[in-house]
Amino acid sequence: MTSTKLDAVTSHIDDNFNNSVDRLIEWLKIPSVSTDSQFDEEVLRAANWMGDQLAALGFEIKLIKTPGHPVLYAERKSANQDAPTALYYGHYDVQPGDPFELWDTAPFEPVIKDSKYGKKLVARGAQDDKGQVMTFIEAFRAWIEVAGDLPCNIKIMLEGEEESGSANLAGFLKANNELLKADVCVVCDTGMWDIDTPAITYALRGIVDAEITIKGPNRDLHSGMYGGAVINPLHALASIVAQLHDENGTIQIDNFYNGVPELGPEERKQFADLNHDDEGFFGEIGLSGAAGEKEYTTPEKLWVRPTCDVNGMWGGYTGKGHKTVIAAQASLKLSCRLVGEQDPQSILDNIEKFFTERLPKDFTMSISNSGRGLPIKLSVDSPYLQAAIAGLDHEFDNPTKLIGMGGSIPAVGQIKETLGLDSVMVGFGLSDDNIHSPNEKYELTCLQRGIRSHAAILAKLADVK
């Protein structure tokens, strides 16, 4: 069925694309801002709106409560019961619209404007993540309307708290482990390499963070009375921070690189073939070139090498004017991006050891951690990854790029850890879509080709045995 019907399905997508855009606009008008309680009813309305859409397509719907916003779960089985089961993950909540004065149009009044690629849809959530979610929803719609069935067994999990930290996702996954059983997870919250080149994100860095406070004297001191005779906690903390890296950018924390895989020649060639534009990449942020480990290229540093960065330091007097004080304590926040088999807890323990060993005499220290996530890497030999590549190759002339992501998608790590599922991360966003910023947009060509691509990926997934 899949091979003979796919052309009819994609033609149906093109013929009805304006209807797809209209549905997305209707959804975008709902300000489902999860982080602000005044929008709680709107968040629920956005979930119910999509639930109604899926119910009309023959999906079994469950709006599952959590201590926060609910998760929308939907399921539809294929007549081909031997086909794999794919769990599609996305989120229906969005970032707040402010600062409103920096938008050219109101964030929750979607408009279509001209763009360098044709037309773009401008609204909060246009790309992140309502537009991306609609790429696979509309692909399901086309298959059902043309073929009367889906090529695969489909489960959908749409979260309502991704933009506010996914506080209840881990508990939801554990409580609904049986319900969410599948062969693979498909995640749409990623991007393309460029407007004409699709990409699959096959690697995500994990994360561990820490907040550290060191304390010296038992109170703030007058710098005239004590300066030069006591160790300044701010100086001490700065000295320890300066020792985190050597002159080549290598991290000096004990056993930090345990579990970091060596890059093989094929993977290095894959990154080299991307022809990353270092000059443009660094020039855009006002820098002349790369720093860090000299033996690695920029994509390798960003995607498959670990990091340790101080995200903020404070202490003493930071108000207007001047106050000649030696602070009693100094604090910092740092985060480490992890790869391979690095263990977040071991990293955290060794961070504590690193700072404790370098404390001046009489100083004490406290450390806390607010989050951690495992690094993720999908094998390039995965049949589901290869099926997704085949689906994209059906739609695009340019070959699919396999890329990494320097950041983390906590849901992907939790899905792997709790459900045991690998995630194929295929999305159709662009780097200039202004997600989380004023004038967020989604190119209509990305929306249309995303729908067509997901339709083809479904066909290819059905052939995986």
Q: Give 273-289 pLDDT, tens digit per residue.
A: 999 999 999 998 999 99
Look at residue 208 and give its three-state secondary structure.
strand
Residue 453 to residue 396: CA distance in whole angstroms: 8
pLDDT-derived band at 409 (thresholds 50, 70, 90) equals confident
CA distances from 126 to 111, 116, 320, 385 (A): 10, 17, 41, 26
What φ, ψ does residue 266 adopt, rounded to 5°?
-65, -40
d(CA 147, CA 169): 34
Residues with Cβ < 8 Å from 247, sequence gap 6 or more? Answer: none
Q: Which two tokens stand for residue 306?
A: 């670990």
Q: What is the pLDDT of residue 2?
A: 64
Residues 436-452 have a mean pLDDT of: 97
- Cβ-in-10-Å burial (0-12, 13-18, 19+) of 27 comes to buried
Check whether 372 has a pLDDT greater than 90.
no
- Quote the strand ranges of 343-451, DSSP E: 364-368, 372-373, 376-377, 401-405, 423-426, 441-443
Asked if the model's pLDDT at residue 299 lies above 90, the reply is yes
pLDDT of residue 1 exceeding 60: no
Q: At 39, is the secondary structure helix, strand, or coil? A: helix
What is the average per-residue pLDDT within 434-456?
Answer: 97
Please give the backbone phi and psi of residue 310, each rounded to the nearest 5 degrees, phi first.
-80, 125
Average pLDDT of 450-462?
A: 97
What's residue 267's pLDDT?
86
The residue ranges of every structural domain in the chain are: 2-204+375-461, 206-260+306-373
**CA-to-CA distance for 9 and 462, rounded, in angstroms?**
15
Reading phi first (left if > 0) and then psi (alpha if -120 to 50, else beta), residue 165 is in left
Q: Which own/partner pairs from 14-21 qualify as long-range (CB within 8 Å, at least 24 positions apart)?
A: 14/448, 14/452, 16/142, 17/448, 17/451, 20/134, 20/138, 20/141, 20/447, 20/448, 20/451, 21/112, 21/121, 21/444, 21/447
Give pTM, 2 decimals: 0.86
pLDDT band at 303 (very low <50, low <70, confident <90, very high): very high
* Token reading at 407: 């950041």
In this structure, is the dihedral angle defined by the CA atoms of residues 132, 134, 137 and 138, taken in order, positive or negative?
Answer: negative
Average pLDDT value over all residues in the chain: 95
Helix, strand, coil distribution of the chain in percent, nearest 5 = 35, 25, 40
Lowest mean pLDDT among 6-10, 16-20, 207-211, 370-374: 370-374
Distance, CA of 142 to CA of 9 (rounded, Å)? 6
Q: Tell me what pLDDT residue 281 has.
A: 92
DSSP per-residue letters across 219-287: S-EEHHHHBTTB--HHHHHHHHHHTSB-TT--B-STTTTTTPPPPPHHHHHHHHTT---HHHHHHTTT-
Spatial distance between the Cα atoms of 218 and 237, rounded to a whole number of angstroms:
17
Assigned token pair, 117: 């690629």
**Cα 326 from Cα 189, distance rounded (Å):** 47
Q: What percent of the chain has pLDDT over 90?
A: 90
Residue keyed to tokens 């001209």: 114
Q: Which residue has the tokens 């002339």?
A: 397
- Going by C-alpha positions, the residue among 429, 406, 283 that lies closest to residue 339 is 406
Please write the tens of the pLDDT for every residue from 117-129.
999 999 999 999 9
Per-residue pLDDT reduced to its tens digit, 175-187: 999 999 999 999 9
Q: Which residue pairs from 100-105 have beta carbons closer than 8 angstroms and sit at least 24 positions apart in sequence?
A: 102/438, 102/439, 103/438, 103/439, 104/438, 104/439
Task: Please give the average per-residue pLDDT across 308-320, as a whole number.
Answer: 96
Q: Which residues contact 359 (CB under 8 A, 6 or more apart)?
A: 214, 236, 240, 365
Give domain 2-204+375-461's CATH architecture.
3-Layer(aba) Sandwich (3.40)
Question: How confident is the model at residue 3, as a pLDDT?
Answer: 64
Please state the φ and ψ torsions of residue 212, each to the nearest 5 degrees.
-125, 135
CA neighbours closer than 13 Å in the CB half-sphere of residue 265: 0
Phi, psi of 28 (to 5 degrees): -70, -20
Exposed, middle or buried by CB within 10 Å (0-12, 13-18, 19+), for 99? exposed
Total residue count of the chain as it appears in this document: 465
* Sign of the C-alpha dihedral computed for residues 431, 435, 437 and 443 taken in this order: positive
Query: Tens of pLDDT along 130-147?
Result: 999 999 999 999 999 999
CA angle centred on 382, ends 377 and 383, rounded to 5°: 150
Lowest mean pLDDT among 211-225, 236-250, 403-417: 403-417
How distant, in Å, are the alpha carbons of 32, 231, 242, 256, 362 from that of 238? 42, 12, 6, 20, 17
CATH fold label, 206-260+306-373: Alpha-Beta Plaits (3.30.70)
pLDDT band for 263, please (50, 70, 90 cuts).
confident
Whole-number Å distance between alpha carbons of 153 and 403: 28
Rounded Cα distance, 32 and 104, in Å: 20
Gap between the Cα atoms of 103 and 226, Å rounded? 52
Residue 374's pLDDT is: 84
The answer to whether 2-204+375-461 and 206-260+306-373 have equal CATH topology is no
